[in-house]
Amino acid sequence: MITAQEVFRGIYAAWRLFLRDRSALALFDNSIEGYWKSFICAVVILPGFFLLVYIADAELSANIHPLRIVVVEGIGYVIGWVAWPLATAYILPLVGCGKNYIRYIVAYNWSSGTQIAALLLLQAFQSGRVLSDGVFAGVGLVALLILLFYHGFIIRITLDVAVKLVVALVIGEFFLGQMIRTVVNALLV
């Protein structure tokens, strides 16, 4: 069982990593138990995820039964949470980083809290029509790049690998996420 203090510590450590504080790694529980507990972040940020889905799929909601949206998005969410850790469980040993797999996934999982907060903030700007569509597109691109660099920073300090492997892993995770999103969107049409 995970405690509220452990959840707070994981999210706080991820925030500090977002601020590029390398010492935040010491706050994570890098044991096998900590590895499994880091997946609790999926439950913690689930309301934020469904809020993003609700806002993004507002036009779809009128034409699709809400239960279908919840089921399809829910399945996509679970697949999204499992696919990358599973892929890297096979990839990292092949590139000589298997010993740091748990440390990486723990930090990666908890970083989802920071990412969902950033996306909700971005969505709040869009929903409030604070920015024009053109400016919002530019801000969205900058936000995406910041989140990709954040993931790259996590890879770099947890796996201690060369920059080209960092880039390859960031691109791989991004495209895997896009593939999952594409399938989910296709099932909602």
Is residue 56 scored above 80 in pLDDT?
no
Where b means 16+ CB within 10 Å and e means fewer, 114-134 reads: bbbbbbbebbeebeeeeeeee
Helix and strand numbers, DSSP H then E, in the chain: 9, 0
Angstrom distance (rounded) from CA 153 to CA 90: 21
118, 147 contact by CB (below 8 A) = yes
Is residue 175 scored above 80 in pLDDT?
yes
pLDDT for residue 61: 65
Angstrom distance (rounded) from CA 137 to CA 7: 33
Dihedral sign computed on CA atoms, order 81, 16, 146, 107 = negative
Greater model confidence, 6 or 58:
6
How far is residue 22 from each of residues 4, 11, 35, 158, measured CA to CA in Å?
23, 15, 19, 9
88, 104 contact by CB (below 8 A) = yes
Angstrom distance (rounded) from CA 9 to CA 31: 15
Specify the pTM. Answer: 0.93
Confidence band for 59, pLDDT divided at 50, 70 and 90: low
Dihedral sign computed on CA atoms, order 127, 132, 137, 139 = negative
Confidence band for 1, pLDDT divided at 50, 70 and 90: confident
